[in-house]
Structure 1
Amino acid sequence: MAEREPFTVDTVLAPVDGSEESATAVEYAVAVADRYDASLHALFVLGRGVVRGMDAGTVDEDDVAQSTREFFEDVERLANDAGVEVSTSTAHGFSRVRKTIHPGSVVLDAADSVGADFIVLPRESVTDADAEVLEQAAEYVLAYASQPVLSV
């Protein structure tokens, strides 16, 4: 039997949407990054309602930016406490003009873009009919990701 290469992780991608479930996923992502001496990239994915509201002018972009910044501050605090290097970005999870843009594809594109070796994301809630944006993407990411995926 051929000797296997040790499992290594350089970058963990943690897609977030501001939900409690994504905050929990960040805790796991930080733990994985810490375990493998990897960096963490947190991707805030904006949901359909937010994107449509910003396009229509009914959702204040400054409010969205502020809540995103506050969530990232929590992510950075948690990562820094564990000694994990962290970077962040934001993406629209939906597009009114391109049907191929949805939360699952945005997560996978970001994983490729940042060179993620591992993805940690929230899974769909079995009790909440109004699932957050990333919970809806978990099955897609699990099916199509080339990286290992932890869905929490």
Structure 2
Amino acid sequence: MYERILVPTDGSDVAEAAVDHALDLAEKYDAEVHALYVVDIDSINLGLGTEQVDRLKQGRFDEMEEVKAKADEATGAVAARAAERGVEVVEHVSGGRPHKLIAEYAEDHDIGLIVMGSHGRAGVRRALLGSVTERTLRSTHVPVLVVDYLDED
């Protein structure tokens, strides 16, 4: 049913819950998992300047060690967990608006399913999806599985 499953990740607990589901489905359907980390250029410190923001948009993270390390850690964690299960993983890091890049990546790589976390909030706000998740749902025709996360603490 699914040949390629996209799991956007930022390394958070919410994203990790989605990774579990993505890997379970990948095992079941013998699918390849694509771990995508998007550096949100809108939330990056505005003090970076246009030259550094342009580098982020082009995927040039080598000069920004902290950003590169966080991205590699997030996608690497997916790859390590997938390797334990014998699931193939493609790691990718991009810079831009997350919902747009998730939708574009899904289309460009013939993704059959996107698995992503909800915002993970509790109470009244729990009924609302996170903004990236909601915008992704509106930006793509690829099925999206939204995994809820509730912090146990």
* Counterpart check, 1:68 vs 2:61: no
Q: Who is 1:32 aligned against?
A: 25
Matches within 5 A, 1:1-40: 8-40=1-33
Distance 2:13 2:77 in 1: 12
2:142 alignment partner, SS class: coil
Which residue identity does 1:46 align to in structure 2?
V
Match of 1:44 in 2: 37
Q: Distance in 2 between matches of 1:89 and 1:55?
A: 24
Change (3 A) 1:63 1:105: same
Question: Which residue matches 2:82?
Answer: 79
Structure 1: stretches of 5+ with no match in the other structure: 1-7, 94-101, 129-133
Segments of 5+ residues of structure 2 without an aligned counterpart are: 53-62, 124-128, 148-153
In 2, distance between residues paired with 1:149 and 1:75?
18
Post-superposition Cα deviations, 1:55-96, rounded to whole Å, max 9, x if no partner, equal 476xx7111111211222211111111111000111113xxx
Partner AA of 2:94 in structure 1: A
Instruction: Tell me if structure 1 keeps the 8 A contact 2:11–2:73.
Output: no
Q: Residues 53 and 78 from structure 1, CA distance in 2 versus in 1: closer, same or farther, beyond 3 angstroms?
A: farther
Q: Give the AA of the match of 1:50.
A: I
The equivalent residue for 1:147 is 142
- Alignment correspondent of 1:106: 101
Tell me if the contact between 1:76 and 1:86 (Cα under 8 Å) persists in the aligned partners.
yes
Kept in 2, the 8 Å contact 1:54–1:61? The answer is no
**Post-superposition, which runs of at least 4 consecutive aligned residues in structure 1 deviate over 6 A?**
none
What is the TM-score when the length of structure 2 is the normalising length?
0.74
What secondary structure is seen at the aligned counterpart in 1 of 2:114? strand
Q: Structure 1-normalised TM-score?
A: 0.75
